[in-house]
Structure 1
Amino acid sequence: MLSLSCFSQATPYVNPNVRASESLSGYWKYIVDPYENGYYNYRLEPFEEQEDTSRNAFFTDSKPRDRSELIEYDFDLSDSIYVPGDWNTQKEKLFFYEGTVWYRRLFNSTIKDPANRVFLSFGAANYKADVYLNGQKLGSHTGGFTPFSFEITSLLKDTVNSLVVKVDNKRLKDGVPTVNTDWWNYGGITRDVNLLETPSTFIEGFSIQLERDDPGHIVGLVQLNGIDRSGSEVEVHIPELGKSVLLKTDEKGKASFRTSVDSLRLWSVNDPKLYKVIFNTKEDTITDMVGFRTITVKGRDILLNDRPVFLKGISIHEESPIRGGRAHSKADARQLLGWAKELGCNFVRLAHYPHNEHMVRLADSLGILVWEEIPVYWTISWENEATYENAANQLQELIRRDRNRASVIIWSMANETPTSNARNRFLTDLAELTRSLDPTRLISAALEQSSYQGDPWVRTIEDDFARVTDILSFNQYIGWYDGLPDKAEKISWKIQQNKPVFISEFGGGAKQGYFGDKHTRWTEDYQEYLYEENIKMLSSIEQLRGMSPWILVDFRSPRRMLPKIQDGWNRKGLISEEGIKKKAFYTLQKYYLSKE
C-alpha cells in the first residue's frame, strides 16, 4: 500500500477540546476561483513549485508595491463568509458550486511563552485543503470530515499574520466518497479552526478504556511529541477514583499502562457516568471527561457491560435543521440528538461520514450509543491503491479523534457497496486496520439484502464481508423501492449467520403536511403505513437486535428533483427540514417505548 503521508501532510491532530485554544471563528475574506488562477500559471504550472513565486499566487496575499504593479486579486476588497460554515447556503450564487474557494484570515500572534509551540487545528474542510501562513505552505489535507493540524511556530510574526486556505470540493472518481452520492456536497471550512499553544514537549494523544476481556482493569496509552519525549514521566490521574498511575515513555515518546479499578460506575444509556481524567507531565497538562464501559457480542446478542441491549436507533445526516446547511455547532448537535432522545432512541447512526466532534461528546453526556462510519459509499474505486489509502487515512483520523468516547460502539467500514473480490479485500483490510487501532469496539458495515435461493419472498444476506463483521447490518427498502408497504407481510427472512442482526436502514419518503390515504405515495399516511408494516416484518427476525431507520430529518440531495415534493430534498425524514414531525415519527416512537 502507499504511504499515508500522501493524503495528510499535517502534524498529528492537536485537539482543542482537551486544552486551551483560541478560536478563529468569524468572517473570513474569500475568493471564488473556478479556474484556479491563484494556484497555477497560464501553463498549469503550480506557483508554489516555481523558484520565484508570482505575487499573483493567492496564497502570497500580496498588494501592489507601487501604482504600476499588476496584481489581479485583493482579499481586502473581496466579500466575506463565515467560518465555520459551508459556502453553498451562505452565498446564493455558490449554491451549486463545486470547485476552489480561497479563504483568508488575519490574526495577531498571542504566544504566552516564546519557548512554547503553536499549532493550527482544523475540525474539517471539504474536500482538499491547502494551507498557507504568511506565504509559506504548511501542508495539505484530503478528506472532508476529519480533523487535522499544522505546527506554525517558526512562521508566526509578532505583528499581523495572514492565513490562507485553498479549499476544493470537486468530486473525484477515485475519491472517498466518489462522484456519486445521495447528499449535498457542501464546500468550505465547515468546522472550527483554532490556535493552540503547547509546551515544547506536549501530550499529543492518549487512549483510555476498560480492558475488553477483564473489565476490572483500565488500560491506555499516552503519546508525547517533542525533543524531550523519550524517558519522560507522565502521570495519569482519575481524582474521583483516587487513582494515579506514573509512567515513563519509551524512545518514541509512548507509554502504556494497565491498572486495576474498584467501585467503578460503568457508563450506560441510563447512567452516562463520565470521570475526569488528567494527564500530567512536567511541562503539560490536559484533561478530558471519559466514560468506562464494555461492548461485546455473544452469539446473537450485543452486550453493553455484559448485559443485552437492543439498539433503538435512527440515522442522521450532518445537516442543521431549520437553519439549513452543514451542521457544525453545539446547538446543532443538541437539536439533532434531542430529537433522537424524544423519539425514544438510545442509539444513532451518524451517516455517511464522520460527523462533528460535538455530536459524540454530547452523546457521551446524554447516554446515546453511536455508530460512526467513513464515506466508503456505493461504488468506490476498489482496485485503486490510492483510494484505499485515502479511506484508511480518514478511518485512522476518525479513530484517533473518538477512541475515548464511551458512546461510540461501532466503527462501520462502508455503506451499500456491491460485492466483488476487490471490494472484499478493500473492506477486510480496513477492518484489520481498525482492529489493530482499536480492538475494544465492534465492526460492521451497511450491507445489502438479497433473495434466498432465488425466492423473492424469502430474504437473506449473501456477502463474504459478513464473515468479517461483528454485527450483521443491512439496508432494505421493502415498501418503497421494493413493492408497496403491504408486501412486507409476505416477506420472511432466513439469516444464516449466527450474529446479531441490525437493520441499518429502512424507510420511505413523505412531504410533511401532505395527507391522503395510506396507498398514496409521498403522503405522511403512506410513510406511516410503511413504518407500521416494516416494524412488524422486521420484528419477526429472531436475532433482531436493533435498527436505525432512514432518517431523522429531511436533507438536501441534488438527486431528488421531483417538483412540489422533493425540490432538492430527500424526504425520508421523520421530521421536515423546518422541524415539524411527521406521523411516522410517532409510529417509531411508540415501538421504541414498547421496547423499554
Structure 2
Amino acid sequence: MMKVRATLLFALCVIFSASAQWKPAGDRIKTRWASEIDVNNVLPEYPRPIMERAEWQNLNGLWNYAIQPTGQQAPASYNGQVLVPFAIESSLSGVQKTVGDANELWYQREFSIPSKWKNNRVLLHFGAVDWKADVWVNDMKVGQHTGGYAPFSFDVTAALAASGSNKLVVKVWDPTDRGYQPRGKQVNKPEGIWYTPVSGIWQTVWLEPVPEKHIENIKITPDIDKNTLTVEGCVNEAVPSARLQVKVTDGSRVVAEGQAINNQPVEITMPANATLWSPDNPFLYQLEVTLYDGAKQVDKVKSYAAMRKYSTKRDDKGIVRFQLNNKDVFHFGPLDQGWWPDGLYTAPTDEALKYDIVKTKDLGYNMIRKHVKVEPARWYTHCDRLGMIVWQDMPNGDAGPEWQMRQYFTGTERVRSAESEANFRKEWKEIIDYLYSYPSIGVWVPFNEAWGQFKTQEITEWTKQYDPTRLVNPASGGNHYTIGDILDLHHYPHPEMFLYDAQRATVLGEYGGIGWANKEHLWEPDRNWGYVQFNSSKEVTDEYVKYAEQLKQLIRQGFSAAVYTQTTDVEVEVNGLMTYDRAVIKVDEPRIRKVNQEICRLLED
C-alpha cells in the first residue's frame, strides 16, 4: 500500500511540476480557451477522424527545446520547455521567441511504447511542421520532410528500444519569407495584412500501432449520378491475397457494402434513396474499411463519407451557376484566416477550433474560404459534420510581401526557380491528397491575388485533372486566365462586378473589410486598420446590410458566389465579424443571419 501511495504521489508531483513550469508567454490578448489548457492533456482528441483506429498515443505536451545556429549538432543541453503543438513564436508555447532563417529549432522528449503494441509496427505521425523537419528516434535518423501544411509519418519500429523509454529529437528549419516555400501570411516583420511567423511543430504529434500489413490511406469518391461510392485503400505493401471490404452504415444499420482484390477500388452501389449531403442537411454515412489476408482480418479503420456533387451549369438566363447535387446554390461565406492571438496557427482547444465554424453557421453562411492556410484534419471534419462548403486556398510563397504586391498591381507572373516550382507542385499535391476525402471541400484555389502566381494555366489544368470532382478557382482576385471553372474578382469595400465571364462562374472572391477597433480586444493599441472604419456594432451592421442589398442585385446580374472579409480580426486587422480573441461578435447577429440566409437562398427554386 505504501508503494502504491508513493507512486501516486510521485505522479501527482510530476503533473504539478509540469503545470508549474508552463504559462502563456507575453501580455497580448488571449482567447477564453487559453485558460482551459492542461499541459498533460493538450488537444487530446483523435487527430485524424477520416481514418480512425482504436489505439494511439498523444505526444503533445511539454518538450525540451533549443534554438541554435544552423548546421550544428544536436544540442548538449536545452534552453527550456515548449508546449507542443504550439509554434515557438506563440504565447501558448510558453516561449514566444523568433527563430529566423539563420537558426534551427530543436525539440526533444522521451516516450514509452505500451506493452500491448509489442507485435505491431509503430508509426510516428506529425500533423504539420513548418517547414523542414529532420527526425531521430534513439539517435537513429528516421526521416525528413519538407512542407508546412500537410501531415506526414515515419515507421519508427526498427529504431525503438526493446524496453523502457525512447528518445525523440526533431530539428526544424523555417526561413519564413526569406525562402521560396509556401508560408501564407507569415512574415519576419509583421504589419498590415502580414502576420507573425510560425515555426516548427504546430499540429498534434502522435504514435499509432499498425499491423505488419496495414491500410496506409483511403480515398473516398461519391458519384450521385451513378449512385455509387468508391473507396480506394492504399496498403503499405503488395499482398497478393489481400481483400478490402467496405461496409456503409447509417447508425447501426448496414445500407451497402462491397469488396475488391488485387488493389482495385471498392465500388459500392448505394441505396436508391441515398441521403445527400448539403449545408442544410450535412448527413454523413459511416464506413468500416477492413483489410483481409485470405480469410484473416489484418487491419480495420473507421471512416465516413457523404453523397454529394459539386458542379456548374448555365441557368435559364444563360448565367453559369454553381450547383450542389445538381441544384443551383449560391456560395456565400467569410474569408477565414484561421489565426489565433494566443496560438497563432493553432487553436487552443478543439472547442475553439470548432467555434469559428459554428459561429459562421449561426450567422447564416453556407461556405468558408480557408485563406492561404491549411487546417488540422479535425477542422475539416467539423465542416463535414456542421455543413460548411470549403474553398481551400494553397498558401502562397516564393516572394516577400513587397514583390507579391508588385505582382498584384502590375499583372505579372512570378518566374520561379526550378527548385521553387518543384516544391510548389509537391506541396500542392500533398495538400490535395490530404484533403481529398473530406466532403466539405468544394473548390481548390491554387493562387490568390497573383501572390507567387506562375504557370497558372498549367497548374489549373493539373489540379482539375488530378481531382475532377471539385471546382477549380485558378486565381482568386489574381492575374486572370480563361482556364478552370471560375472568374474571381476582388473589390473593397462594397461589392462590384467589373468583369464578367459568360463561360465560367463569376464570383466576388473578396469584398467588405468593414472595420471597428473594439478597444478592449485589440492585438495592438495603435496601427489598427480596416478598409472602412466605424465605431459601433450598429454602424458596422448597417454598412454590412447595405453591401448585402447591393450584392443581391449583382447576384441577379451574374455573381455565383461571394466571400466577405473576414471571420475575425487578425493582429492589426480589425475588419472581422468577431474580435481576434473571439470574445465579441461585432455585428447584430440576428440582422446578419437574416440577410445572409436571404442571399444563400436567392438562387433556390
TM-score range, shorter chain: 0.7 to 0.9
C-alpha deviation, 1:511, in angstroms: 3.4
Residue of structure 2 equivalent to 1:126? 130
CA distance in 2, matches of 1:368, 1:437: 23
SS of the equivalent of 1:219 reads strand
C-alpha deviation, 1:583, in angstroms: 3.5
Residue of structure 1 equivalent to 2:64? 29
Residue of structure 1 equivalent to 2:242? 232
Of 494-503 and 581-590, deviating more is 581-590
Cα separation, partners in 2 of 1:220 and 1:429, compared to 1, 3 Å: farther
Task: Within 5 Å, give how 1:360-439 maps onto structure 2.
Answer: 360-376=380-396, 378=404, 382-417=415-450, 423-425=453-455, 427-439=456-468
CA distance in 2, matches of 1:327, 1:438: 29
C-alpha deviation, 1:323, in angstroms: 6.7
CA distance in 2, matches of 1:208, 1:544: 31
C-alpha deviation, 1:100, in angstroms: 2.4
- Percent identical pairs in the alignment equals 22
Q: Is 2:326 the counterpart of 1:309?
A: no
Residue of structure 2 equivalent to 1:275? 285
Residue 94 of structure 1, aligned match among 81, 93, 96? 96
Q: Normalized against structure 2, the TM-score is what? A: 0.76
Asked if the contact 1:124/1:189 (under 8 Å) is kept, the reply is: yes
Residue 552 of structure 1, aligned match among 561, 564, 567? 567
CA distance in 2, matches of 1:430, 1:390: 13
Q: Is 2:313 the counterpart of 1:298?
A: yes
**1:255-307 deviations in Å (ceiling 9; x for gaps):** 21333222211111111111111111121001112212111111311111111
Aligned AA (1:135):
D
Asked if the contact 1:119/1:196 (under 8 Å) is kept, the reply is: yes
CA distance in 2, matches of 1:110, 1:207: 30
Q: Is 2:213 the counterpart of 1:201?
A: yes
CA distance in 2, matches of 1:279, 1:441: 24
Cα separation, partners in 2 of 1:587 and 1:168, compared to 1, 3 Å: farther
SS of the equivalent of 1:112 reads helix
Asked if the contact 1:130/1:167 (under 8 Å) is kept, the reply is: yes
Task: Within 5 Å, give how 1:107-186 maps onto structure 2.
Answer: 107-110=111-114, 112-157=116-161, 158-171=163-176, 172-177=178-183, 182-186=194-198
**1:483-513 deviations in Å (ceiling 9; x for gaps):** xxxxx7xx66341333222222112352333
CA distance in 2, matches of 1:587, 1:389: 48
Q: Is 2:237 the counterpart of 1:257?
A: no
Residue of structure 1 equivalent to 2:480? 463
Residue of structure 2 equivalent to 1:65? none
C-alpha deviation, 1:585, in angstroms: 6.4
Aligned AA (1:79):
G
SS of the equivalent of 1:493 reads coil
C-alpha deviation, 1:102, in angstroms: 0.9
CA distance in 1, matches of 2:218, 2:480: 36
Residue of structure 2 equivalent to 1:73? 76
Q: Is 2:229 the counterpart of 1:218?
A: yes
Asked if the contact 2:516/2:534 (under 8 Å) is kept, the reply is: yes
CA distance in 1, matches of 2:175, 2:151: 19
**Unaligned ranges ≥5, structure 2:** 1-46, 188-192, 293-297, 315-319, 398-403, 408-412, 521-529
Asked if the contact 2:308/2:439 (under 8 Å) is kept, the reply is: yes
Q: Normalized against structure 1, the TM-score is what? A: 0.77
**1:410-462 deviations in Å (ceiling 9; x for gaps):** 1111111169xxx452x33333333343221111144337xxxxxxxxxxxx7
C-alpha deviation, 1:478, in angstroms: 3.9
Aligned AA (1:291):
A
Residue 575 of structure 1, aligned match among 574, 578, 591? 578
Cα separation, partners in 2 of 1:90 and 1:113, compared to 1, 3 Å: closer
CA distance in 2, matches of 1:190, 1:575: 24
Residue of structure 2 equivalent to 1:67? none
SS of the equivalent of 1:86 reads coil
Cα separation, partners in 2 of 1:550 and 1:443, compared to 1, 3 Å: same
CA distance in 2, matches of 1:148, 1:284: 20
Q: Is 2:302 the counterpart of 1:287?
A: yes
SS of the equivalent of 2:476 reads strand
CA distance in 1, matches of 2:531, 2:366: 31
Cα separation, partners in 2 of 1:346 and 1:520, compared to 1, 3 Å: closer
Q: Is 2:452 the counterpart of 1:442?
A: no
Of 19-28 and 324-333, deviating more is 324-333
Residue 242 of structure 1, aligned match among 228, 249, 255? 255
**Unaligned ranges ≥5, structure 1:** 1-13, 41-56, 59-71, 450-461, 480-487, 557-568
SS of the equivalent of 2:385 reads helix
Residue of structure 2 equivalent to 1:10? none
Asked if the contact 2:248/2:285 (under 8 Å) is kept, the reply is: yes
Residue 353 of structure 2, aligned match among 320, 327, 333? 333
Aligned AA (1:270):
D
C-alpha deviation, 1:521, in angstroms: 3.5
CA distance in 1, matches of 2:588, 2:204: 35
Aligned AA (1:260):
T
Residue 338 of structure 2, aligned match among 293, 314, 318? 318
CA distance in 1, matches of 2:140, 2:497: 62
CA distance in 1, matches of 2:84, 2:95: 18
Root-mean-square deviation (CA), in Å? 2.9
Asked if the contact 2:99/2:105 (under 8 Å) is kept, the reply is: no
C-alpha deviation, 1:85, in angstroms: 0.8
Aligned AA (1:369):
I
C-alpha deviation, 1:144, in angstroms: 1.5
CA distance in 2, matches of 1:537, 1:418: 29
CA distance in 2, matches of 1:584, 1:519: 20
Aligned AA (1:571):
V
C-alpha deviation, 1:97, in angstroms: 4.2
Aligned AA (1:177):
R
Of 383-392 and 199-208, deviating more is 383-392
Asked if the contact 1:381/1:387 (under 8 Å) is kept, the reply is: no
C-alpha deviation, 1:526, in angstroms: 6.7
Residue of structure 2 equivalent to 1:188? 200
Aligned AA (2:236):
N
SS of the equivalent of 2:473 reads strand
Residue of structure 1 equivalent to 2:36? none
Cα separation, partners in 2 of 1:324 and 1:122, compared to 1, 3 Å: closer
CA distance in 1, matches of 2:457, 2:430: 18
C-alpha deviation, 1:322, in angstroms: 7.2
Asked if the contact 1:574/1:585 (under 8 Å) is kept, the reply is: no
C-alpha deviation, 1:474, in angstroms: 2.7
Of 318-327 and 148-157, deviating more is 318-327
C-alpha deviation, 1:586, in angstroms: 6.5
Asked if the contact 1:169/1:187 (under 8 Å) is kept, the reply is: yes
Residue of structure 1 equivalent to 2:516? 511
CA distance in 1, matches of 2:268, 2:94: 56
C-alpha deviation, 1:107, in angstroms: 0.4
Asked if the contact 2:122/2:156 (under 8 Å) is kept, the reply is: yes
Residue of structure 2 equivalent to 1:350? 370
CA distance in 2, matches of 1:91, 1:268: 38
C-alpha deviation, 1:138, in angstroms: 1.8
C-alpha deviation, 1:237, in angstroms: 1.3
CA distance in 1, matches of 2:511, 2:199: 29
